[in-house]
Amino acid sequence: MRILDLVVDIVEWEVPTIPVVDERGSIGGRLRYGVVRVRTDLDVEATGLIGPLDGELVPCLAQLTDVIKPRLVGRRLTEPDQVWARLDGWAGHGFPLQPAMAAVDIALWDALARARGLPLYALLGGQSREIPAVATSPPVHARPESVVEQVIEATESGFRAYKIHPGGVPESDAIRLAGLAREAVGPPVALMLDPNNSYDPAKALAVGRALDEAGFAWYEDPVAPDDWNSILRLAEAIRTPLAMSDAIGFLSHQARLALRLGAPQIVRVSARKLGITGLKALCDELTAAGMPFEIGFGGNPLANAANLHVASSVAGRTYYEHMLPARYHETGAVSPVRVSNGAAIASSRPGLGVGLDPDLVARHTVTRLG
């Protein structure tokens, strides 16, 4: 397979606005994405998606056209990992290239699987199409009782795991929420808490002890991902495993440090930042070292599908993360990931099995790069 061209269309479309109880105030509204198109000599135009574009991902756009495209066009690629292995050298001392390349990498694997007539999980060596799903949602409620209602609703629809985003509620409410949620759903349902790196060490410890009492499965991103003193102290002080972190800096430079330090006890990973090549390589490395990992939310329909196909092909993972309401992250998708009775089901069609509506993309394109 030879790469003939790479272009990026910047699109803007409206996503339902959802009020949230954290520093953002709301999510959704008018969002921008980078639609990456890779044209190959196999008469296949593969698509990747960057976004929603935020401060962490905006630098990716210039990298795609200025750094990655000149090195890709004309290259014969039968294995996308040949390119991935060169990214650190291409970046030099600049911003990591992995998040920019992630969308291209997803597109290349999609094209390769389609050319071979295989669903992506099968090309990656996977056997099972179904992965248990952990439901989650943005922090839309301040009252613990309202959050518990969300948890109950999800479990009644078939989910056997739920990750709570408490938002910016006071410490006392987060502690009470942990107990109320466990009381509501009982031991059979796995519960997790993710405050999105918003706690100081004292609050993280107090909430962590409440999670111990309530038997939570993991405690995700309680403190900053580069605050290793707090991470190590918290891991020693509580029983609930720490799960961190899909921030770019952590995944690019620090995830493997967890192997040496033994904390956090679970590494969070995602194709949104690592592509399929980087994600599978890190998952295989963590599995070989006996380090648990979890594949997190992809943020957009193509990265979600990539996460699911990789999850179907690696040992050591437990769940596929499914954000509710799904309409928030499925805008523009054709055949998005299907979740039924608490399980995510990878497409059996060749490639990712998930695409973007070309008419919608055309109507909402505001500029083209490259």
CATH number at residue 281: 3.20.20.120
Same domain, 364 and 322: no
For the segment 257-277, what is each residue's pLDDT rounded down to a tens digit? 898 999 999 999 999 989 999
Are the beta carbons of 55 and 35 closer than 8 angstroms?
no
For the segment 238-254, what is each residue's pLDDT rounded down to a tens digit? 999 999 998 877 887 78
Domain, as residue range, for 22:
3-117+356-369
Is the pLDDT score of 106 beyond 70?
Answer: yes
Same domain, 239 and 327: yes
Highest mean pLDDT among 20-29, 67-76, 148-157: 148-157
CA 186, distance to chain mean position in Å, is 28
28 SS3 class = strand
For the segment 170-220, what is each residue's pLDDT rounded down to a tens digit? 999 999 999 999 999 999 999 999 999 999 999 999 999 999 999 999 999
Instruction: Spell 167-189 as b/e; 16+ CB within 10 A means b.
Output: bbbebebbbbbbebbbebbeeeb
User: Among 16-25, 131-140, 155-164, 294-303, which is the least confidently predicted range?
Assistant: 16-25
Instruction: Give the confidence band of 159 by pLDDT, cuts at 50, 70, 90.
Output: very high
Burial of 223: CB neighbours in 10 Å, binned 0-12, 13-18, 19+: buried
For the segment 273-304, what is each residue's pLDDT rounded down to a tens digit? 899 999 999 999 999 999 999 999 999 999 99
Are the beta carbons of 107 and 77 closer than 8 angstroms?
no
Tell me phi and psi for residue 213, to 5 degrees.
Answer: -65, -35
Q: How many residues appear in the chain?
A: 370
Same domain, 65 and 133: no
pLDDT at 162: 98
Same domain, 302 and 201: yes
38 SS3 class = strand
The count of domains in the chain is 2
Same domain, 111 and 127: no
Same domain, 100 and 151: no
Tokens for 356? 């973007």
Same domain, 151 and 270: yes
pLDDT at 91: 76
Same domain, 24 and 147: no
The 3-state secondary structure of 217-278, one letter per residue: CEEECCCCCCCHHHHHHHHHHCCCCEEECCCHHHHHHHCCHHHHHCCCCEEEECHHHHHHHH
Same domain, 26 and 156: no
pTM of the model: 0.95
Instruction: Give the confidence band of 62 by pLDDT, cuts at 50, 70, 90.
Output: confident
Which residues in 284-323 belong to E strands, given as ranges?
293-295, 320-323
CATH number reported for the structural domain that contains residue 41 in this entry: 3.30.390.10
Q: Kindly report the average pLDDT of the chain as a whole number.
A: 92
Q: How far apart are CA 307 and CA 287, in angstroms?
A: 16
Same domain, 195 and 294: yes
Is the pLDDT score of 54 beyond 80?
Answer: no
* Closest of 23, 16, 87, 9 to residue 53, by C-alpha: 9
pLDDT at 93: 66
pLDDT at 255: 85
Same domain, 152 and 84: no
pLDDT at 56: 66
DSSP state of 327: G
Same domain, 83 and 142: no
Q: How far apart are CA 169 and CA 60, in angstroms?
A: 33
